[in-house]
Amino acid sequence: MKTFQLPYLFIFLLIVSCAATSSIVFDYDIDEDFNSHNTFVICEDDLLVEHSNYPDYDNASIREYLSQEVSSQVENLGLTVDSTNPDVQVGFRLVISEETATFRDCSEFSEFNYWRECTIETETYTDETLIIYMSNLEKNQIIWQASMPCNMNISDTKLESHIAKTVKTLFETYPNIVKPIE
């Protein structure tokens, strides 16, 4: 009976160790009165495609979905859109970079168990990060930001829900500050 449990334990540990983890990085200004803000505007520059050489990762549709979802999340915080005199500006950035990983593919020489040849293979992949930020326009400084690795290179049918989930996850780090009772 115990011989069957060991392989299941090994498989479970393998699955858990290979599970994807998303690392969210966030920060906010502890001196900022987040309750004093009532209005916002989306940074219009963030709607412009920055990485035209990566059209599957950054295009007008992705940026429009991001803008809509960020606006929705900020409205859920109780702020309203005001493009003439906003308290804060909210924006997002897609950071895209190419990374390389090098692998060794070594074959054993069967007669003496020496390495016969060791071929190095290099794989190039695209790394993408979404950053959402909020700036106090009066102070001209960022008061909150959050970022996480993401992948916008998914099918159009899943893209909108994927962006909604990603943006919502980042907004869960927004400071939940309550006004003191006076």
Does the pLDDT value for residue 8 go beyond 60?
no
Q: Residue 21 has which token pair?
A: 């983890």
CA-wise closest residue to 54 among 93, 98, 100: 98
CATH number, domain at 139? 3.30.160.670
Domain of 94, in residue numbers: 20-98+127-171
Residue 85 lies in a domain: yes
Q: Place 92 in a pLDDT band, splitting at 50, 70 and 90.
A: very high
Q: Place 81 in a pLDDT band, splitting at 50, 70 and 90.
A: very high
pTM here is 0.73
Asked if residue 169 lies in contact with residue 22, where contact means CB atoms within 8 angstroms, the answer is yes
Q: What percent of the chain has pLDDT over 70?
A: 75
Average pLDDT, integer, range 130-147: 95
Neighbour-count burial for 21-36, b at 16+ CB within 10 Å, e otherwise: eeeeebebbeebebee
Residue 12 lies in a domain: no
Residue 132 lies in a domain: yes
Q: Residue 19 has which token pair?
A: 């599970």
Residue 143 lies in a domain: yes
Residue 40 lies in a domain: yes
Rounded-to-integer distance, Cα 68 and Cα 90, Å: 12
Residue 114 lies in a domain: no
Residue in the block written with tokens 């040849």: 117
Looking at the structure of the chain, the number of domains it has is 1
